[in-house]
Amino acid sequence: MVIANPIYDVVFKRLMENERVAKFFIGTLLEETIESVEVKPQEFTYTDELAGLAVYRLDFIATIKTATGEYKKVLIEIQKAKNQIDLMRFRNYLAEQYKKEDTVNDEKVVLPITTIYILGFKLPEIETPCIKVERKYKDLINKTMLETKSEFVESLTHDSYVVQVERITDRYQTRLDKLLSVFEQANFVDDKKIIKEFDHAADLEEVRIMTDILHHAGTNPEEKKKIETEQEAWRTVNAMFENEKKAFIKALKEKDKALSEKDQALTEKDKQIAELLKRLYENK
């Protein structure tokens, strides 16, 4: 079956609109049973007035209730390229979410936050496709790990999950493997890496639903056009950032060269002064 590449915002939004898929995606990564989920895409537009460019993109906020009755706020971020503006933007976005109150059953509450990052690039230090960065409570007096948790601490700190789609392999054994297989960046049937062949047997109902949604997104001309538009927009943005980075590096090199030349001139001047003082001393 051919399916659309789900790392594009417009495609991922289609997946998260399906409640069963959203529960499967979040629950599988968090290793928890999700009783209910509400996903709200948050619109963001990057605008460059000089280039006349406006790029629409989405972040995703999910309010979940686990089988144990605990409520959490899950922030999902897709970063297709390693741009500094994306990193800073999401840090600011995360700070904004920490400042916001949430509403659960018509009551204002402060929910614990969990973040999920789906990366379209490789972290050179980490080879596994999926990691969890979690917190532990340690008693520094008795040097022991604490099993109990504090609502206060949970509201001020958070666990984080990172998926590197470029490191996903064709492994297809566990529930997590089967989820990640949909995001595997392989078997593309086009040069733009928008459409790919999904070769695995969809033996989980949730995976079958995901591939059906992605099949429609990849074969419907209107849906495919939206993906191409998003891809081209971000290709332009990435090119702009690359040019800015090159210009910055060039300016640094020129500054270093100027400083080096200045240091050489000062060194030469010091030699001349030292030589002059030597002569004055010898002529006494």
Q: What is the pLDDT of residue 44?
A: 58
Q: In the chain, where does DSSP find H-type helix? A: 9-16, 19-30, 84-99, 151-156, 175-181, 205-219, 221-282
Q: Is residue 271 part of a domain?
A: no
Residue 17 has pLDDT above 70, yes or no: yes
Q: How far apart are CA 80 and CA 57, in angstroms?
A: 12
pLDDT over 70 percentage in the chain: 83
Work out the average pLDDT over 250-279: 74
State pTM to two decimals. 0.77
Work out the average pLDDT over 170-194: 94
Give how far Cα 149 sits from Cα of 74, 101, 154, 158, Å.
19, 21, 7, 12
Q: Is residue 259 part of a domain?
A: no
Q: What is the pLDDT of residue 250?
A: 63
Q: How far apart are CA 67 and CA 227, in angstroms?
A: 36
Residue 56 has pLDDT above 60, yes or no: no
Identify the residue whose tokens are 């500094």: 84
Residue 257 has pLDDT above 70, yes or no: yes
Q: What is the CA radius of gyration of the chain?
A: 26
Q: What is the pLDDT of residue 73?
A: 93
Q: Is residue 258 part of a domain?
A: no
Q: Is residue 248 part of a domain?
A: no
CB atoms within 10 A of CB 233: 16
Confidence of residue 53 (pLDDT cuts 50, 70, 90): very low
User: What is the domain count for the chain?
Assistant: 1
Residue 19 has pLDDT above 50, yes or no: yes
For residue range 198-212, list pLDDT tens digits in order.
999 889 999 999 999
Q: What is the extent of the structural domain holding 208?
A: 2-243
Q: Is residue 284 part of a domain?
A: no
Q: Are strands 144-146 and 113-119 parallel, antiparallel or unpaired?
A: unpaired
Q: Is residue 239 part of a domain?
A: yes
Q: What is the pLDDT of residue 97?
A: 87
Q: Is residue 229 part of a domain?
A: yes
Give how far Cα 190 sits from Cα of 8, 19, 133, Å.
15, 30, 35
Mean of all residue pLDDT scores within the chain: 85
Q: Is residue 257 part of a domain?
A: no
Q: What is the pLDDT of residue 229?
A: 79
Tell how far CA 283 is from the center of its chain: 72
Residue 152 has pLDDT above 70, yes or no: yes
Work out the average pLDDT over 75-84: 80
Work out the average pLDDT over 84-103: 81
DSSP-derived 3-state class of residue 33: coil
Which of the residue ranges 86-90, 179-183, 231-235 would you say has the lowest mean pLDDT? 231-235
